[in-house]
Amino acid sequence: MPERRFPDPRKEDILAGDRRLSRPDASLPDWEVPDSAYRPVPIVWFTAAMIVQALVLGGLFVLLLRASGIYTIALGGLASGLIAGWTWRRGMAGAAAAWRWATIIMLGLQFTLVLLAVTPRL
């Protein structure tokens, strides 16, 4: 039986088909784990705020359909403010200015749509 030679990962690459499993010059310090840390991006916070606000404002609109529009406006404004605060605490405060402005504009536009829909009930 032929003798198998196993590569030394400290001296040469170890390949599995087309994938490189080990490489001698890619050693990182123990504290550096590049692929295991979650790095959220502002689009995640933006999208979460947009979806949560759409669901909350839609739910308030339906629940308060027979009530005066003032209640829908007040609760919708409160909910929008709370969603904005939640989004800023999650990390939007440290995001680029363009993401912060886009979030403010999006929250305002969705609230404006509710205002327009509620206007006949005032």
Q: Which of 16-20, 24-28, 69-73 has the lowest mean pLDDT?
A: 24-28
Q: Is pTM beyond 0.95 here?
A: no
Does the structure show a pLDDT above 70 at 21?
no
What sign results for the dihedral spanned by CA atoms 59, 116, 85, 51?
Answer: positive
Q: In whole angstroms, how far apart are CA 16 and each of 3, 9, 23?
A: 19, 13, 12
| Closest C-alpha among 38, 37, 39, 49 to residue 99 | 49
Is residue 53 a contact partner of residue 107, using CB atoms and an 8 Å limit?
Answer: yes
Question: Tokens for 43?
Answer: 């689009």
Q: Tens digits of per-residue pLDDT, 112-122?
A: 999 999 999 98
